[in-house]
Amino acid sequence: MATIKEVARKAGVSVGTVSNVLRGSTTVSQTIRERVDRVIQSLDYHPNHAARSLKTSQTHLLGMVISDITNPFFPQLVRGAEDAAIQKNYLLIASNTDDQLEREKRALAVLRARRVDGIFLVVAPNGGDTEHLKKLLASQIPVVCLDRVPEGLAVDSVTTDGVQGSEMCVRHLLSMGHRKIGVIVGNLQLQTARDRLRGYENALKEQKIAIDPGLIFAGDFRRESGYLLTKQLLLGNRKPTAVFVCNGMMALGALRAIQELDLRCPEDIAVAVFDEVPANGSFRPEITCVVQPAYQMGYQGVELLLSRMSKGAGKKPVQIVLPSELRIGDSTRRRPLRSGK
Partner DNA sequence: GAAGCGTCGTGAACCGATTCATATCAGTGG
Partner DNA sequence: CCACTGATATGAATCGGTTCACGACGCTTC
Q: Of 193, 216, 209, give the one whose Cα is nearest residue 274.
A: 193
Residue 180 partner contact from a copy of itself, DNA, none using kind-dependent CB cut-offs of 5 to 8 Å: none
**How far is the C-alpha of 151 from the C-alpha of 177, rounded, in Å?**
36
Candidate residues 3, 76, 95, 164; the one interacting with DNA per rule CB under 7 A? 3
- Contact between 54 and a copy of itself by CB under 8 A: the answer reads yes
* One character per residue 273-312, x = contact with a copy of itself (rule: CB under 8 A): ----xxxxxxxx----------------------------
Site for DNA in 90-109 (CB under 7 A): none
H-assigned helices in the chain: 4-11, 15-22, 30-43, 49-56, 73-87, 101-113, 131-138, 162-175, 191-206, 223-235, 248-260, 294-311
**How far is the C-alpha of 310 from the C-alpha of 88, rounded, in Å?**
13
Residue 59 partner contact from DNA, a copy of itself, none using kind-dependent CB cut-offs of 5 to 8 Å: a copy of itself
* One character per residue 86-125, x = contact with a copy of itself (rule: CB under 8 A): x----xxxxxx-------------x-xxxx----------
Please say whether the beta carbons of 178 and 159 come within 8 A: no
Only segment of 6-14, 194-202, 242-250, 276-284 that touches DNA (CB under 7 A)? 6-14
Candidate residues 56, 89, 282, 310; the one interacting with DNA per rule CB under 7 A? 56
**How far is the C-alpha of 8 from the C-alpha of 283, rounded, in Å?**
63
Candidate residues 23, 38, 49, 180; the one interacting with a copy of itself per rule CB under 8 A? 49
What sign for the dihedral angle of Cα 169, 173, 174, 180? negative
**How far is the C-alpha of 284 from the C-alpha of 326, rounded, in Å?**
18
Q: Report the DSSP beta bridge partners of residue 245.
A: 184, 273
**How far is the C-alpha of 293 from the C-alpha of 146, rounded, in Å?**
12
- Contact between 272 and a copy of itself by CB under 8 A: the answer reads no
Candidate residues 38, 42, 48, 238; the one interacting with DNA per rule CB under 7 A? 48
Please say whether the beta carbons of 287 and 280 come within 8 A: yes
Residue 202 partner contact from DNA, a copy of itself, none using kind-dependent CB cut-offs of 5 to 8 Å: none
- Contact between 139 and DNA by CB under 7 A: the answer reads no
**Binding region for DNA (CB under 7 A):** 2-5, 12-17, 19-20, 22-23, 26-29, 31-32, 45, 47-48, 51-52, 54-57
**Binding region for a copy of itself (CB under 8 A):** 1, 46-51, 53-54, 57, 59, 68-70, 72, 74-76, 78-79, 82-83, 86, 91-96, 110, 112-115, 251-253, 255-256, 259, 277-284
